[in-house]
Structure 1
């Protein structure tokens, strides 16, 4: 297999992204401010918006995202059980969990500290007019005690149906430990789950090959209605958040990876390309779990016993990208309302946002909920969130890519610390590229 062929998935995804963005902007020029464009065809007119934006792009994009989400629960459940069964010493789970959670919280604290420092230097909120801002009503976030209680499912099938990842993780861990302790019966069940894992990963491979089309539909629809004027009005805020996200993903993670493992950060970043593109396109860490798992195990060389636990856990509680948005937004809103933040306020923001990354896990709209909590802690008006909602969609895509990168970095670090990382696989630039080998025409001929 040539290198040209093995690198084609990334190339196709990039082509799909660029094509979707360009087409979206073209349609926005054709249909400004949400208007429609009618093409006369005989006795009736064809609506371009209904046919493409609300039709082909919406259906294609949503089916793609739904297909990825469809795999999340079975992939996490089956893979985590396989990983737990493969551990000779089940007490290692506590050590692995402690390392993963500790690293996730540390990177989140670093992210928000860096973001607030950058915002203080660049002052994105100076000169912004709040006269026409609307009111933002924040949802109430659950307490940390509630989250801890709700981590344990009273009905595991309900957890599967609702996609409650923390509950799925807990049940899979307990089920995997029970299998490991059940002797020959457990060995037979473990063998079944190993086979299931192969089948699920093959399904992941099939969907990854169809990704360019889904990415095209998602971005074409998004950029058709993206309000560029809002981004221009909040250009300084947008620029500071975006810059902080890029620096954290490329510099902070690279430094941590190098210090804790000695591995080459450049190789790591290169191997993250597919997962980053998926995360950016879907704006969902959970939807990207199948791709992140594939990247961590096949490309980075992390053993499934580690990745099956740290990746879904990170997708649930790792909020580095969101923390950066919160840090910049807090300083931005404080500057807009001419409120001076003290050192204690800064420390409160860092502590609250870091702990809230676990406390609000699994809550819809988690970024804005966490930001509302942070603002209330330091006495800033929650209504200020209304100003940044307009540019949050595009930033949400970028911070999801950062979160996924953080998930893989922590997974790699934990894998290396547990001697569960294949160095040769990590250093092999072509490792994991076999996902390109599916030939649908060949499959059809052999049926």
Structure 2
């Protein structure tokens, strides 16, 4: 079942129980040492505030920060320094993200459940949101757009960005430029677990936020999970992943390109293809091997495919769907002749790409869909980041006099049955209203 560039090759039905478990269980990328170290870092920031953040920048980023916050003039300089083509592409991406997310904005509702009884619910934008933008080995201005633009579309009062400082004490020029284009309000040169702690609990300089979104390394992911007592987060996130379902109409070279596009993210990335028929599976596997041999991020791609790469054959598309549901991928590419017809079979994933032309790269950057997505099978319960993540709901209910009289006895009966006698008294007091 294994060999060559890929960890697993062969028929899905022949996959051992252990191999299947290994493909489905992608939660083991964070270890106890990361969690323990993260707890220490968070505790330092909670205790010492800005002083701890400066010390962490010196320790991990090798930079002495004169100011934690980046002046807006430096954002403007970064935007002016961008290559015109890059700026144009970022502006186009920001427009499409704004358009797609504006269409998702929720509306207030009010319903009369019985005559005189009205229940309502209203979406209220969050007051302040923090967006984490990776730095160092992975710098993604596109992720700044994916976090900031939907928050601004939702009407969030203030959006701050935290991103690790480089040698000059500033986040990357791309991150600063994207923050300006996206409409962020403040940017801080802070990275890692310290940045997450600062946004969650607040320091002398960094304001406390209501929700933290955005991707990051293992320490950032661990920190977000550890601060949920104080702040909401997006979905817990891990290494990138893709599952391709391909029938005989699919181009093996196109599938190989999609596999490598995810493999180059991270040595722990998981890339799997289910191909209908042994011949199609073999053609895809060979295309992946050829593409991997010429990959520019050779070491990362090679490690990813050898540890978590798979091309498996299935007898039919019907055989593929149970595995798709169990795998719950971050990215699901339906490289089939009629992908729209198969969309209804999908329930568990971050997002679906319909047809091989719908490259994941398009969704990562330019279609307007959000690329902050659940990984490690969490697509069973979590959705990708959307404008809905930047609201909380205010609920209300109104009861007219006659309706209160009608409710009184039944509510009193239920309250008595639960031993909540003051509740019963409060309800029955309205019997003769």
Higher strand share: 2
* Structure with greater Cα Rg: 2
Tell me the TM-score normalized by structure 1: 0.23
Tell me the TM-score normalized by structure 2: 0.23
Q: Which has the higher contact order (CA 8 A, sep 6+)?
A: 1
